[in-house]
Amino acid sequence: MTEPIDTKSRILDIAEELFGERGLDRVSIRDITDGAKVNLAAINYHFGSKDDLVAAVFERRVVPVNEARLAALDAAEKSAGNKSPKLEAILAAFIRPALQCSLKSPKGGTAFSKLFGRCLSEPSPQVEALLKKQFEPLMERMDAALMKALPNLSRTDIFWRMKFTFGALHHWLLTREKFVPAWVEATDLEEQTQKLITYAAAGFRAA
């Protein structure tokens, strides 16, 4: 009874890895079926088309992260009561779930981070529409929380500082175990998470 689920996950894993390595347009359905050791009927059964498969690859990673972010923001706002949550709590609600979901993913989420980075550098109207649908509700909530916490900033200020925070987060997820000189003191993931939250908070508070 578990075979269809296992097959679907294997197809998604292989598609994610190949899309990240070569780009969406340079990977064929045949490449994916060969890598996943399945036939075309399995792709058609689980996804229907390549476009639907691409959508499923992104939704599998993005939806749980953004749901966790909204839940964390809900918790921060509830804890703050009638006041605004602290800036660090808002940023933690955005940053920490990305790490937690990444660690639950195969290869620590590196394959999807690589794919995400490739799609940012090689824009696809299909992917842009997918990401807009997934991120707009989250960003509306984040903008509202940040503007309440930092009333001195305009919505434009919030946009740019959030954009730079997102860039730092994505770079960290992709390279956190790479390009680290020997003289840097060892830090665990929680310490690194706190450093990123502190860094982002300083950017938001800057004049």
Report the alpha-carbon distance of residue 198 to residue 42 in Å, rounded: 46
At residue 101, the pLDDT reads 79
- The backbone torsions φ and ψ at residue 200, rounded to the nearest 5 degrees and listed phi first, read -65, -40
Q: How many residues does the chain have?
A: 207
CA 174 to chain centroid: 11
Task: In whole angstroms, give the CA distance from residue 165 to residue 9.
Answer: 31
d(CA 16, CA 107): 12
Tokens read off for 83:
């006041």
Res 90: pLDDT: 98
pLDDT digits (tens, 9 = 90+) for 77-101: 999 999 999 999 999 999 999 888 7
Compute how many other C-beta atoms are within 10 angstroms of the C-beta atom of residue 170: 15
Greatest CA separation for the chain: 59
| Residue spans of the chain under pLDDT 70 | 1-5, 105-109
CB 125 within 8 A of CB 25: no
Give the separation between CA 207 and CA 5, rounded to whole angstroms: 51
Residue 107: predicted pLDDT? 62
CB 49 within 8 A of CB 57: no
The CATH code of the domain at 51-205 is 1.10.357.10
Name, in order, each residue with C-beta under 8 angstroms of 136's C-beta and a sequence gap of 6 or more.
none
What is the structure's pLDDT at 2?
Answer: 43
Alpha-carbon gap, residue 204 to 207, rounded angstroms: 8
- Give the start-to-end residue ranges of the domains of the chain: 51-205
Q: Which amino acid is at 189?
A: L
